Structure 1
Amino acid sequence: MVVGCVPGIYHPGMSFTVAEPTGDRVEDYRRLVAQAAALIEGEPDRVANAANLSALIYQSLPEVNWAGFYFAVGDELVVGPFQGKPACVRIAFGKGVCGTAAATRTTQLVPDVHAFPGHIACDADSRSEIVVPLVRDDTVIGVLDLDSPRPGRFDTVDRDGLEAVARVFLDALSPGDAL
């Protein structure tokens, strides 16, 4: 038995395979959400879950050059677990795409980051972005952020799928875990 693993419970990293795309993006997201739920089932730690979900998303979605979490600390977002190039460490609420998602509590779907007023360029290769706010008990606790080098990479299918992944993350948190 692996130290720290509970017998009879699925444990990430033990023969977990990322599903191959089917060509049907709605179905692919349905499968991604199911994989996300299985991956973090029974684990209430937000950092562990954010790390595993970042890796799952990054490995599952094509044309993504950054996938990860920022967590709210006071009136700013602080980088959490992610996959991709090094990131901006702190982003104020209301600034850039991530800060706008946190301040408005709405998913930001940005087909061209260069056209977004106040965009913060953490990676010069990123051309489009989607950011899903993480709201628990009426409090913004962070955001789920994805970038792509392809303009127009993200659409409403991605929005719906990533909002479902965010719900899986939020549902797994320990009671009262609001950063």
Structure 2
Amino acid sequence: MFLSCTFPADAEYRLEIQHIGERISDVLRQRGVIGRFGVDFVSTKQGEQWDHCAIEINLRKGGTTHPFMMLQFLTDGDYDPETGLYLTPSGDPRFYYASDNVQSPLYRGLSPEDLIDISVMHQLHFHSTEQRGVVFHLISALSEFGKFGAVCIAESAQQARVIYDDTVRILNQETQNA
């Protein structure tokens, strides 16, 4: 089950993963594959070196496709293959933390409008001028199942995770008081 993802990968190995992905892409292209694909890796550190094992290739849009497309749409930036970073048009890096599985029984009965109102009231929502904040998706499952997705975009991986943690904490507080 896909739970969450961060982008970009850690600076310590992001370009290694990119290089392996390019090699896989070359092989797939030679075999006639057209379109998106995703590769799942298990990466372990062996001393000072990283060992990356590709364990699965998905010839489809995967769990990380949607957050990346949201990042592109919201910021209008580009991926820089030289650094492995995603850069806004002004050259500022953007990172995200995303989950399709933000879930709590406390969220049942909450409407999508309530979710948006809470995020705006607490200044968590995505600000286009700052190009940071949280964007929700899969909100049709919110009221009945207490579940939704979130993409948290910020200037660093740590800041993106803070936005996510703040979102969950504030939603828990707001729904416990309801």
Query: TM-score of the superposition, structure 1-length normalised?
Result: 0.29
Bigger share in strand = 2
- Higher helix fraction (1 or 2): 2
TM-score (norm: length of structure 2): 0.29
Larger radius of gyration: 2
